[in-house]
Structure 1
């Protein structure tokens, strides 16, 4: 065989194994093909030596008698053909009681099993090839007929299930013998036919009932559809109710106080305002409260308030607006468990940090206006006390 290609698939005669080896490991000894094999303990080192085509160490590596099956240009190609040669090579020509479980490279050996095992051979009572190749089957059971009787008579007349019994002929010709049922079997068949006829009657009756119910349901559905269509044509267009103008956002204290007073006196106005502010929404309590307050009043107006009314600022906690915001929050399905205390804390935080969104010049102007109004209030009070 031509050994010009780098890898070969060989058959190790002694151990009955198929392996891929480099061609440089193969040599002839006494007119027999021989192959070097590394004596490494770990299979990884053996695999690395095969892939890298390592030069054999003649003084250390062992030699084995082989048969070269075929040569290949790459290691992967040789490995992919190992299973083919394992299946179609003449392996295990002689019977070995102790088969080798793994190959030299650590792979499980797959050998063609052409003979019986030792236990099977022993049970046959002979070690010859004929004994191993013979397969004894159990005897076929004998048929014991108890219900059937062989008689020589005319074939029986069997009624057809259809109305025209003459259209179908069950038997053709005139056989000399035929198998007929005994009286016991005929009685069982008659009983079965009676039960089947009753079952058939019940099925037909139930099917007719289902059909009648379906027809009634379809008629009722048609009536409802026609009535709905007639109602739609009769009704006029829906009357659109105009939403009141709230004037958001408020930028003066007077307009805010006027709005707050109207919330307590006009119930319809309050409900409209609640529905409108509830449409703003929010994923959490902080976002919802802050967005509602930004919608109602500006940061500049909020800076003139404090939640408790200290430092000469307006008292935000006394406004009806706090209860309005709580009602709006309770309509949000994500915040149905919130309380008045938690909502008021968020309102207080927003009013307290409203000045953080204003430039420094607007803060100073707002402070001067508040101080002037406070001084005027003190003066008016002092004059009234003197008078």
Structure 2
């Protein structure tokens, strides 16, 4: 009976929370009436988008409450209500999610009273089940009714709050539109970076190389020593130009990814941060990096090249941020193969407070990952730690 009692108590807690939400939705009827009257009179049409947003919050609370009981998330599929008043009104009326929410709200007015049944059920359960289990040594018969009541209420809510296929399609189109815009922006930024690196690096060195070779040709007959010195300088300029070109190529698609794979490339990147001779370590003050691999082994199937390049970029950019901004002396990188693709996590023990708007490179990470339909989660409270988690979908 103790197990049944615990389950019934948990179900009762959920039903009480549902009853509180139902009571709030009953009070919300006044807002609905005011909105309907104002919209019909035109002068109060601005109330409609705000009311729809409030209904979304109520429905979202119910989704979370139901998901906590059933263990299954109920997805949301809404179109953003932004822009001018006319655009906000149009979105509020045409969004399929609006119909779903209001249909659930009206139904909830009908079945939201279910928790009231708890009042007679609990005394009955304590008496009947106490006698039944205490004297006859049988399992409880009334307490499970409370659990079934919670299951019934949750199943109705889940069915009513689940987005329609039309709403899911509209949300998918909106997401793809945003992703495409981010991909175009990321591509443009990448082209500008390559152009800047070529102009300021390799091109400048090649111009200097050409000038020194020309001067060496003129000085060859009359001053061989000066010509040899100019040729030596030209050789140095050629090596610097090659270094710049390798840097540009590494930014497009690091050759080490092709040679060693993602795991080997990330480990080499981690080792370079720990080396005091590396340019990265010098610019960031040095960083001890550990790499943990869970799933993707060197001899296993590799992710697509675009996914590997994005994952490498995420690690490189996150480590750069950690070295330059966090003040941390160490960072941890974790690569994991999941059922849906590749997971990358970079953690540092620095000061935290990472801000995408502060030019820390997080926006670039988000755009590059969004181009592959991946997700980025950044947790960086003030005082640290900073954890960047990226999920990149792919088929193994």
- Scaled by the length of structure 2, the TM-score of the pair is 0.17
Name the structure with the higher helix share. 2
In our comparison, the structure showing a higher alpha carbon Rg is 1
